Chains A and B, each alone.
Chain A
């Protein structure tokens, strides 16, 4: 079975541009979470979606948005990119958003903002 797949794997943008990152969860998983990992730090929670509804949002500005589609895949959008948005963006899926679930992470999308 395929794991969590993310695209693109690497991308370079300039300040002020917009970026869309995509995530396909493990088959049967209904919850998707997004994390940002700046170099040298642990991941930080951005969003969680379950059954196409936003269930949680971390301490990120409104430039960050996301959505989940009927097939449970998800997109993370970031507008008006800043240099500080350069990071590895991780998507994780789980069967549900509740209980002692284990998150399975994808390999991430590495965003560089110039």
Chain B
């Protein structure tokens, strides 16, 4: 069962910041939050991940609430090429392996 809930779709104007919310209220203390995106049936592309602290890389920032029940992915200056389905994922540990539990994702459309 998915451990995350996301809006089905969102729009954002080109050049503006895109803020994608995610709820993961049942997340456990050692479970990471990962974000991937998928452009029209290509393979998913890694964006960022975090556990407790906010994280930033060259693609995006990840803001995790103090209670870890929700997070927000921020694309600081969205471009048309950022149009994709964005997945918020919880990585769970099962025996000796880790699994990514995916939700249905948010379809982000960047408009000119």
Residues on A lying within 8 angstroms of B by beta carbon are: 4, 35, 40-45, 48, 50, 55-56, 58, 88, 90, 97-98, 100-108, 110
Contact = CB atoms under 8 A, between A and B. Distances in A.
Interface stretch (B16-24, B69-77, B91-99): B91-99
Contacts of B51: 100
Contact of A56 (B42, B99, B101): B99
B104 interface: yes
Interface in B51-92: 51, 87, 89
B98 A105 contact: no
B100 interface: yes
Interface residues of B, number: 25
Contacts of A35: 100
Nearest to B94: A56
15 contacts: A42-B2, A42-B104, A42-B105, A43-B44, A45-B100, A45-B101, A56-B99, A58-B99, A98-B97, A100-B32, A105-B36, A105-B43, A105-B44, A108-B42, A110-B41
A56 B96 contact: yes
Given A55-B97, A90-B43, A107-B42, A42 B102 contact: yes
B41 A108 contact: yes
Given A55-B97, A97-B97, A43 B46 contact: no
A88 to B, nearest CB: 6
B49 A56 contact: no
B43 A108 contact: yes
Given A42-B2, A42-B103, A97 B43 contact: no
Contacts of B42: 107-108
Contacts of A88: 41
A105 B97 contact: no
Contact of A100 (B2, B43, B49): B49
